[in-house]
Amino acid sequence: MEHDGHVTLRGIFDPDTVAAIADELDRALRADQTHQSAIARGDVIVAARNILEVYPPATSLWRKPALVDFLAGVLGKDFGLMRGLYFDKPPGKSWALPWHQDRAIAVRKNRLPGTVFGKPTTKAGVPHVESPLWLSKQIVMIRIHLDPMVEENGPLHVLSGSHHDDMKTDGLPDILVTATPGDVLAMPRCFSITAMKPRPDAPSTGEFCTWNSPVAQPSPTATNGTPSSRASPDIRRLHPSKNFFPCL
């Protein structure tokens, strides 16, 4: 993880559990009265935010011993779950993504004065900002794969080692990531990824994503040189407390 920036943990969830998660997620999203969290193309839900509210079992899915041990080894023992997202790439209703880093994070307020956080947006009713590199490195995204991810159905490509330098990606190896249902892909938020558009006849691929971060790990210095004790807010202040589930 430290060297390459990504790790695939094989077989964390068994096939029956994966099938149950996929079915329960779909039913929960369709039953959501606000319909604010889900993005649909026709009658197919292709993405959803605010999963921890819409599908409460998501708050504990990640508490598999092997997964908790892995996250503790990366983040330290004092960490927890912040966010949950869902993506699906069904045949004929999918998309490709350019190379990018997913550094947007949910916050209580995104219009406060300051220079550390930027690009304020609102997504599904939740304020977001773009996190600085030092904070993005402390947030690990885990992708629980609900379907096979193979070359034909729009898998992820990652730039191995891209988490070390702020978007300095020249010469880094392009790695195709594949997965089977129940596998978990882990990577920091500052990691460079892209996704290919699947073939029209390719099988669906879906995943449930969670973000786990340490409770508080301040930066040595802020981007403007301000001492970290003043420049680095506690993760628990950045994210609504109802959406932070500590590792117990």
CATH number at residue 191: 2.60.120.620
218-238 pLDDT, tens per residue? 444 443 333 333 334 444 445
* 246 found inside a domain: no
For residue 65, being part of any structural domain is answered with yes
State how far the Cα of 62 lies from the Cα of 13, in Å rounded to an integer: 10
Gap between the Cα atoms of 107 and 173, Å rounded: 33
* Residue 210 belongs to a domain: no
Q: Tell me the C-alpha distance between 125 and 225, whole Å.
A: 33
CB 195 within 8 A of CB 148: no
The answer to whether residues 141 and 188 touch, using CB atoms and an 8 Å cutoff, is yes
> Residues 57-106: pLDDT tens digits?
999 988 999 999 999 998 888 888 888 888 887 766 666 777 878 888 88
Say which DSSP state 227 is in. Answer: B
Structural domain contains residue 63 = yes
Is residue 30 domain-resident?
yes
Q: What is residue 57's predicted lDDT score, i.e. its pLDDT? A: 92
Query: What's the confidence (pLDDT) of residue 222?
Result: 40
Residue 10 has pLDDT above 90, yes or no: yes
Q: How many domains does the chain have?
A: 1
Contact 203, 148 (CB under 8 A): yes
Contact by Cβ (8 Å): 6, 160: yes
Q: Could you tell me how many residues make up the chain?
A: 248
pTM (2 d.p.): 0.78
Domain carrying residue 62: 7-204+219-238
For residue range 200-214, list pLDDT tens digits in order: 555 556 666 777 776
- The answer to whether residue 172 sits within a structural domain is yes
Query: Which residue's entry shows tokens 């990606």?
Result: 169
The amino acid occupying position 62 is W
Residue 247, domain member (yes or no): no
In a domain, 211, yes or no: no
> How far is the CA of 192 from the CAs of 81, 110, 164, 165, in angstroms?
22, 24, 10, 10
